[in-house]
Amino acid sequence: MTVRALLTISSLIMILLGLIFLIFPEFVSLKMFPEANEEQIHIAIVHRQIMSGGMFFIGILLLLARKNVTSAAKRILFGSSIGYCIVLSIQIKLFFSGDSDFYWPVVIIFSVLAILSFYVSYFKKH
């Protein structure tokens, strides 16, 4: 996989997740916190919508980074692999502390993106 292709895929996934968090915040919140009461769900919905802005922001940056020279694009991919690992670490921490459930599709997508981003940024020749 090329650097530009992976940046494109990563950006589109982040933009898609941003759309999902913006359009379906209640669904995502209920999946993460199935036993939450109405007030807690309302707070979670607001947070999902705010998070959607961050996901759009990251997605747009990744999309625009495709036009960089390869060395700069690889650094951006390496940084995104660190970011995906941080998000996964937080999800794992919240799961084991009992504060949240895993939403498996997102965990799998972020794991694959973290591994691919690291591999392409470090070991792919061009």
Q: Quickly tell me which residue has 């390496």 as its tokens.
A: 78
Number of domains observed in the structure of the chain: 1
Q: With contact defined as beta carbons under 8 Å apart, do 50 and 31 qualify?
A: no
45: alpha, beta or left, given left = phi > 0 and alpha = psi -120 to 50?
alpha
Report whether pLDDT(85) > 90: yes
CA-closest candidate to residue 112, choices 102, 101, 120, 123 = 120
Considering the entire predicted model, what is its pTM? 0.85
Report whether pLDDT(3) > 80: yes
Range of the domain at 26: 3-122
Greatest CA separation for the chain: 52
Report whether pLDDT(53) > 90: yes
